[in-house]
Copies of this chain bind each other. A is one copy, B any other.
Amino acid sequence: MHEVIQKLKAAGLKITPQRLAVLEAVKSFHGYHPTAEDVYKKVKEKYPAISLSTVYRVLDKLVEIGEIKEIVVSSSERRYDARKDAHYHFVCKNCKKIYDIPKEMVEIVWKKPLEGKKILNQNFVVVGLCENCYTGNEE
């Protein structure tokens, strides 16, 4: 929590209760990857006055300063991840649940370098059917 305050200050941003509450909320979803709406509902529990637009704005800022990540697993909604270490994701085509894939499970090897371009992030997203949906018991 101290760390964020440093980062916010370093970026010339103010320390507001909303910002701290939103970050807390995102962090509270261990293993789950919340949408902005999910975060909004969670924050409201302890901070009923917060507005949805503030949540959107704070999420953007937290991504900007690298305190959380946006994961791109759907073309229709944004999802956030408080985990900052590298890892990958599995998305169930049926129930849409998102699972973490530990970095150690997969090795990504470049056979030839990507000439001219600068790589900032490597997103590996596996789409398939999870345990529940694969065996037929829809969720």
Contact = CB atoms under 8 A, between A and B. Distances in A.
A121 to B, nearest CB: 4
Interface in A67-82: 70, 72-79
Interface stretch (A7-15, A23-31, A44-52, A104-112): A104-112
Contacts of A76: 75-76, 78
Contacts of A75: 70, 72, 74-79
Interface SS, A side: strand
Stoichiometry, copies per complex? 2
A20 interface: no
Contacts of A127: 119-123
Nearest to A123: B125
A64 B79 CA distance: 24
Contacts of A118: 128-129, 134
A90 to B, nearest CB: 6
A131 interface: yes
A75 to B, nearest CB: 4
Given A109-B109, A117-B129, 11 more contacts: A75-B79, A105-B111, A105-B114, A106-B108, A106-B109, A108-B124, A118-B128, A120-B128, A122-B125, A123-B125, A123-B127
